[in-house]
Structure 1
Amino acid sequence: SLVNTDRSIFYGNDASDMFADARRIDKSNGSMWLTDSLRLRPWLTYNPIIKIQGEYGAAKSYNAGATTIVPISKAEQNPDIQGNVSNGYYLTVTPSAPASNPEAIFYLPEVRSTTYAVYVCFVPENINASTYTDKVRPNIVQVTMGYNDLKGKPQEQVLKVGKTSLFQSDITKVDTVYVGDFTFPLCYFGTGISNVTQASYAPYIRINSRATGKPNVSPYDRNLRIDYIMLVPKDLDNYIKEHPGYKYQHEID
């Protein structure tokens, strides 16, 4: 690895590729490399991953009865559930009535005018084995991005993967679900527009439960348990898929 002057760490290929085709020049107090290209990948500099923790995100639920921040330690976690809850907390959004479907909105800070692969991480309802006794059911949700177009007019777009706009979680693990790609036409970095007091201007993601059937027989859980939202620059998302084992510079857990 390499550490630069602002203490950012570059690992593996991110470090070695900076020196590709560079000419080393040894001087009295060290060495320098002469190159015609600064080979820093965009996700290491101006276009990083954006991650919003469920418990810290500026979230507002419109038709839900309550939102609760739930702690879960490794000692409390059901050993049959794969993965870990990021940061040791998640957000639960409960419906206002047994047959209603809740929704949650997370405002998205510092987004760039770029294409992101969007991920939502869901926590299964039996994450804590000591407090759960009923049948375990997955979530099924629809995800919508809210943004402003180039004229400043508010817009919304339902995310899809292929023709699918409904996404089901896996009850056997803390499940990070890919819900589609989205391109923001405007950059919000450095504007300070990222919270509920500026909701009419801030980009957001809306997660709607789409459970069907009567509450006691529905195959889906209406309660939303959200660990985090993650926007991964598409270039990085593709690179990770093409390079298994790649270690991203910044901590994202």
Structure 2
Amino acid sequence: MTDTSPLAGKTAVITGSNSGIGLGVAHSFARAGLNVVLNSYTDRDEDHALAEKLSGDYGVKVRYIGADLSKGEEARRLIEDAGTCDILVNNAGIQHVAGIDEFPADKWDAIIAINMTSAFHTTAVALPMMRKAGWGRVINIASAHGLTASPYKSAYVTAKHGVVGMTKVVALETAQEPITANAICPGYVLTPLVDSQIPDTMKKYGMDRETAIKEVLLDRQPSKEFATTDQLGGTALFLCSDHAAQITGTTISVDGGWTAL
């Protein structure tokens, strides 16, 4: 069952959404009556089955469109194939950790392409659709690393800072239209990928689960609690509401106080 919502019937395209934060946003949107386009770089039966399940659970239209967002033409095709895009959530991202002098050039290129440049391509195609419809929302999932930095994450930090900057530009270019652009900056979020890393962290440091989470994984997150994908989905949904119509060109941190330090 979906909630009654003024957003019902609008279409959201969410990149990198067959798991983690993107899937959390998809659930929140579908629950509110939005039609959803899921995406990742794969094109498996289970990807399409996931779309069918969300559609059945919430009574909305959900499609899966595979696209390799490291390639600009495929990022643009994703939006074109969606056919309509009232809400664009640029969420796709990858990570690699290494010192700058040891950082593989191909990893740098891939992170910049997927985490940052893909958002340029999808936004460039989506904005004309939003203008034609007379309404739109661009939501970029950046990171606390879009506002601060950590060692050994040069490509990721660069990409996320770039996403925050581009968000501001899109907001200024649409400031007198019923279109907003904002970036959500999560800290550490409890996704299946993060959860799978906890046992190895426990083993490496000889700690129990709770200690490993608070003292290692959440060392920089003052709340000592993970954000959840549902919280990220709720934040994105708020940015789509009429209450957020004058919120544009800014960042919303969901990081347990990380960037307050």
| Shorter-chain TM-score tier | under 0.3
More contact order relative to length (CA 8 Å, sep ≥ 6): 1
- Richer in helix (by share): 2
User: Could you tell me the TM-score, scaled by structure 1's length?
Assistant: 0.26
- Richer in strand (by share): 1
Structure with larger Rg: 1
User: Could you tell me the TM-score, scaled by structure 2's length?
Assistant: 0.26
